């Protein structure tokens, strides 16, 4: 059965990539959350989508130039028209504490497409091991070198290539690099590339599925993971279609 992961937390209703959004995703029954991980100036693992903090906090700064203390002083709740009180952006450690508490799974996107963040793969793996979460996490990135580096460090951890282009023969591309999953933009999936991925034994974890017709299509395709901004509605449709 397709698992429902909340994209950046429950970002349709709550400030994205915040502990508030993650907790709300857990409350509605999402099996997992999708998050984005960076490194601060002092080498701490933190969670935010963009490399620049301006869109989600109103403060124009690069995460790589901020200390952890400076990052935690930002207000990730202030972009929802005053609807929410102060909401500090989280560390990866805080998210892992929530995963242990709730039993949720997590897709970590390593945001190394613009800045490489040397050593980020090892740092994430070490923290995963501290919390015993190897079997609860999928690692992904648009930087496929990052994915391959992580796979070398931890062959038993499930990994996926993020992609939004119309890659030719994505199944063989993924399988030949020892990676289990392909994470496409949902609209690029068609019969040909789905069949190619399935023929190569690759799991499909697609994003970002918000339209109800697309939700039903994702369930028909039997995706392993469907990533959505609207987990509550997706769960309702899954129950209607699949009975659970």
User: Which residues are annotated as catalytic?
Assistant: 7, 49
Distance of CA 59 to the CA centre of its chain: 23
Distance of CA 38 to the CA centre of its chain: 12
Tell me how far apart the alpha carbons of residues 162 and 129 are, in angstroms, rounded to a whole number.
24
Phi-psi region of 243 (alpha: psi -120 to 50; beta: other; left: phi over 0): left
Tell me how far apart the alpha carbons of residues 22 and 9 are, in angstroms, rounded to a whole number.
5
Tell me how far apart the alpha carbons of residues 206 and 225 are, in angstroms, rounded to a whole number.
7
Phi-psi region of 153 (alpha: psi -120 to 50; beta: other; left: phi over 0): alpha
């Amino acid at each position: 059965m397709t698992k429902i992961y909340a994209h950046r937390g429950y970002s349709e209703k709550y400030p994205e990539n915040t502990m508030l959004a993650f907790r709300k995703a857990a409350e509605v029954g999402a099996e997992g959350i999708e998050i984005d991980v960076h490194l601060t100036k002092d080498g701490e693992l933190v969670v935010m989508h963009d490399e620049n903090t301006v869109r989600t906090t109103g403060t124009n700064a690069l995460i790589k130039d901020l200390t952890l203390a400076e990052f935690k002083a930002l207000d990730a709740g202030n972009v929802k028209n005053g609807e929410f009180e102060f909401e500090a952006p989280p560390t990866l450690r805080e998210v892992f504490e929530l995963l242990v508490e709730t039993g949720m799974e997590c897709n970590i996107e390593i945001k190394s497409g613009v800045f490489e963040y040397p050593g980020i793969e090892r740092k994430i793996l070490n923290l995963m091991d501290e919390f015993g979460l190897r079997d609860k996490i999928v690692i992904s990135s648009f930087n496929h070198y990052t994915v391959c580096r992580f796979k070398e460090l931890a062959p038993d951890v499930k990994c996926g290539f993020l992609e939004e282009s119309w890659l030719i023969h994505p199944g063989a591309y993924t399988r030949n690099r020892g990676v289990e999953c392909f994470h496409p933009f949902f609209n690029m999936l068609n019969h040909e590339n789905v069949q190619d991925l399935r023929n190569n034994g690759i799991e499909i974890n697609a994003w970002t599925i918000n339209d109800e017709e697309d939700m039903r299509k994702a369930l028909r395709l039997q995706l392993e993971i469907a990533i959505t901004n609207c987990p509550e509605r997706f769960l309702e449709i899954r129950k209607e279609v699949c009975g659970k």
